[in-house]
Amino acid sequence: MTILDLLNQSANRLSEAGVADPRREAASLLAFALDKAPAFLIAHPEYELTDDEAARFDGLMARRANREPFQYITEQQEFYGLDFEVTPDVLIPRPETEILVEEAIRELNKLNELNTLRELTVCEIGVGSGCITVSILQNVPAATAIATDISEKAIGVAMRNATSHRIADRLTFIEGDLFAGVTEKFDMIVSNPPYIPDADLTDMQKEVRDFEPHSALFAGADGLDIIRRIVNEAPEHLNRGGLLLIEIGFGQSKVLGDLVDPSIWSKPEFLPDLQSIDRVLKVRLR
């Protein structure tokens, strides 16, 4: 079968399976199956797939039609200009998380300008694929980090990403619950913790609900179980004037604004995402 025929057929199959943007997805998957740039499909619509290529594409297409996320099929996701390995043991990095990363890098660079001789220290809670800390360390050579996760398998993925991006010598991993085993104090704590209310499970896209790790997504009735604990425990692990940056969910800023104790923290700031949703809580230890 030719590329053109196959694209039409697969786009229909994905559309019937309920995949959003089926034509683009079919094209991306075909380019991946053929190990070619997407432009190859446009330049060679008449190309006939070999039997091996057709079988490989069919296998990948069956997975996507079952609504397995594209990124788990290709085992790759781009984040902050870097390629990350992803497996079903980790959350697929989301573009909105780049807001937190950008702010962390900006603040660390400011600190670095004040004292270029000092090592900057960062702690991440819930490292997952490593996308946050690896991106920060890549962009701030004076920084070192400790990253924790409750999932041993997630830490394995993050380790591989740290190695492939050549920052592993500045990153230490601890497997455990939040700050368990962390004895140091840091200039900055960052986290994109689970923050989805448990009851939202039923309304979620199949790709997320059936394939992404629930321990990376859900955090109690209002989604704030883990964030509350991080806000309570973070002061013990921050230097004076240290920053806490936490990604938060839709509609959570109001409750969090009231939760932050003004005798411990500066007035909370909320950084918006592109849809003007408050996406990152930023507070400084007094």
Residues that bind ligand SAM (CB under 6 A): 90-91, 93, 97, 125-129, 131-132, 148-151, 154, 177-178, 192-194, 215-216, 226
In the complex, what is the shortest distance from the CB of residue 165 to ligand SAM, in angstroms, rounded to a whole number? 15
Pairing of strands 186-191, 120-125: parallel
Unique residue bearing structure tokens 């993050």: 158
Contacts of 28 (CB under 8 A, 6+ apart): 38, 70
For residues 175 and 172, give the distance between their C-alpha atoms in angstroms, rounded to a whole number. 10
Pairing of strands 82-85, 238-247: unpaired
Q: Which is nearer to ligand SAM, 17 or 99 (CB)?
A: 99
In the complex, what is the shortest distance from the CB of residue 129 to ligand SAM, in angstroms, rounded to a whole number? 6
In the complex, what is the shortest distance from the CB of residue 215 to ligand SAM, in angstroms, rounded to a whole number? 5
Q: Which is nearer to ligand SAM, 48 or 83 (CB)?
A: 83
In the complex, what is the shortest distance from the CB of residue 2 to ligand SAM, in angstroms, rounded to a whole number? 39
Q: Which is nearer to ligand SAM, 63 or 229 (CB)?
A: 229
In the complex, what is the shortest distance from the CB of residue 232 to ligand SAM, in angstroms, rounded to a whole number? 13
Q: Which is nearer to ligand SAM, 60 or 86 (CB)?
A: 86
Q: Which is nearer to ligand SAM, 96 or 269 (CB)?
A: 96
Report CA 123 to chain centroid distance, whole Å: 16
Sign for the pseudo-dihedral over CA of 226, 231, 232, 236: positive
* CB burial string 90-126: b at 16+ within 10 A, e below: bbbbeeebbbbbbbbbebbeebbeeeeeeebbbbbbb
Q: Are 123 and 157 spatial neighbours (Cβ–Cβ below 8 Å)? A: no
Q: Are 251 and 71 spatial neighbours (Cβ–Cβ below 8 Å)? A: no
For residues 196 and 251, give the distance between their C-alpha atoms in angstroms, rounded to a whole number. 11
Q: Which is nearer to ligand SAM, 109 or 215 (CB)?
A: 215
In the complex, what is the shortest distance from the CB of residue 113 to ligand SAM, in angstroms, rounded to a whole number? 27
